[in-house]
Structure 1
Amino acid sequence: MSVLRTEQLRGDIKSNSIDLEETSPLIGKSRSPKMYPLRCNRLNILTGTTCLLSLGYIIYTLFYPKDCIEIEKESLWDKAAVFCVHFVFMICGAVFFVLTCEGPCAVIYNRFQNVQKNTLYEDHDRLVRENDNLKSEIGRLRSIYQEETERLKHDNEYLENRYQEETERLINENTQLKKRVNEEKTEKEKALNRLSTIAGERLRLHNPGIADLSDENRPNKLAEKFSELYDNQWTEALESLNRTGQSERVSVENLFKTLEEIYTTCMKSAQDQRESLIQIITKPSTKVPLEVSSGSENTTSKVIDLQKQTASSAFIDTKNLIIDENPKLAENDALLKYTERSIELCWLMAIQDPPMMLNFGPAQNEDMDTNTFRAFTRTGQKVDFVVWPAVYLYKGGPLVHKGVLEPIAL
């Protein structure tokens, strides 16, 4: 409310700024007071003259009634009416003359101006006091504002520091917890892997029906690779032998005999290696050969895994052994590739648990089993010679891939 009142008073001061500048000593300017303008024109002069003449005529008739014949002839009431008319006219003219003259009006005007100026001065002093009070209040509030601002700034800095410290602490705790969780998860995965490996080994041990799908050399895959050996390396080796001038039957029988010798050698070497490893691990001081069954299931499983991991080295040693016994296998490049691939696959079949079996077929003139073998180039009921052995998952197990034989022509 004080502010609104201040604004209103400021408006009053502005509306009267001209008079304050002329008369107020606080403004710093001094001017002579404004004079009331002289309003004297012909009408004023005529009215004044008429009033004076009327006044003179009345005075004259009062003091010299004999000279006024017309008045003397009139009644008393007529004389009174004439006198009143002249008297009223004279009074009005005098008042009008006084009001239109400079002196009395100027006095009244100046008196009014002084009253108004005094009122403005009082309002001005009051506004100055109110302004000073407001300035003091503003200063006090500004001081309170600055103190409050400093306090809030200090509190804000304190809270920010606490927030950063708490954030860093939580981040460190979170990092430590994540690290611990990852370590425990890793340990759990390792334990599960070990448990799964042990369980898988126990399940797969002497159980060919359960295969490790991550193993590229599991029995089913080996059967497929063995079929590819017949389609590729065997065919090339047969063609190379045929170019030497020998008959196709002789070439087929030579390749078949070579494969049978390789399979027999690999089966014996793999069995001897397994028994030797089990003996060295379980009874290193015993020199008498032990059977495979004498080792524990865990030891046997570890030995079989070791054989699979070292298959490449064993394959090279077995290849050298077979080629040294039959150097003719290395004379022909196609025949050498066939021999090497046959050794590799037969060794991998021999170290399976249990080992895979190759059925080299019935003897000549026996009945042909179409469930196990398929015909080579002609049809018939009796066996002439075997071209390629049938593959079984293990001895006495299911057939994995049919063999090939040549029946006697009908």
Structure 2
Amino acid sequence: MASDSKKKDLIADAKNFCDGMSNVFMLKKRDPQTRHLLEKAKHLIESLIADNQKLSSSSNVGVPRQQRSGGGMGQLWVQLDELKRENQNLRRQFGKAQDDRSTTQKGQGPGEVIIAEHHRFKQENDMLRSQCEKQQTTIKEMESINAKLQEEYKSARIALETTQKSMETILKDYRSMESNLKSVKTENESLKSRLSKQTRPLMRNDSLSKNIENISEKCRPTNIAFMYNTLESQEWMDAKEAMEDESDFEEENITQFLCAVLMEAFQTSKELHSALKSAIAELIRKPTLAICPTIFGQETRKLKLPDDISDGVSQQLRQFCDDLDVGVLVNMLSEKLKNNYSEYVEQGVLENKAVGRYLHESARITWQMAIQQPPMCLSIKDTRFDDDKHKLWWSCDQSRAARIDFFIWPALYDYENGNLLIKGCVHAS
């Protein structure tokens, strides 16, 4: 009875295994090697079952006991296929090639192959799943960065649109201002022409003539005042620093010397202008002197030109003021300095390049002051400090300034006792 029970169990297991093999065969029919093994196993099991049934029928054996719910190998194949499909999906995500064929080695049975494949795919799936999680984490980080960049892009775009609108508004304003400037220039030219025509008939002795400036002339008091200001901030400052570096004089002495140079240049220009008018008057009185080569070497008589001729001469001098040979004026100025400020000359101050530029620019500007009608005025006559006419030197105390010790920079007027154009700089105590 025990042997019959064992045979019945064996037949039931064989049938279950055969059914499992049939299911595996349906799932693995794409693999030639597995297909061959399954067909051979099925054929052997079916033959054994048939032979056993013949023996059972001949010996009239009872009905075998209920079959066990086996199919273990079939379930392994099913799990293996599920793992392979999952592996294939993971490989597809990472762009790796997929090989469906099992790498069965010779000498291994179907069960061992299934178990080996099961373990291999499970390990590979774990590894790919870990990589997939890392990639997903990276993707989330990139999405966060992308979101921030999109916000920044939106802000930048809004700023750009705002800037473009501002630029459009500015361009419109610029075009409007440009148009207004053209119209103002046209109107200005018209006013210049009208004013020039209206000022020509005015007589020199008219009380209004001193307060009227011909804006059509380049050499006029307003422009001269601007050049005078520039002279103080550039050439005067360079000359002062050069003397401080190359001589032993104190700052107080240097500033007084440079102020004296400017006043001497102004006086020399006035003398040249006066001599020119006297020479013209002498030539008008004696025209034949024009061919005498020594006329300008002789002392001419102190004659006075008529007012209308004097005005005309000054106008012509202003028109050609840039053609003046400044070197002659500088030579006349240098001779005066040698006589009156010999201690500075002996130390080679006049040979300094910065001082030389200051002498030339002083002569050029003071000449343009002298040929105005009436002449402009440089003044260092004040003895009491007046905040309306003077500015204090940096080292002086504003609260105690009362008496002027000396001038550092002369005050400029449009004519003598006229309107103040540039304040004088003084040292006061």
The bucket for the TM-score relative to the shorter chain is 0.3 to 0.5
Q: So what's the TM-score if we normalise by structure 1?
A: 0.47
Structure whose alpha-carbon radius of gyration is higher: 1
Using structure 2 for the length normalisation, give the TM-score.
0.45
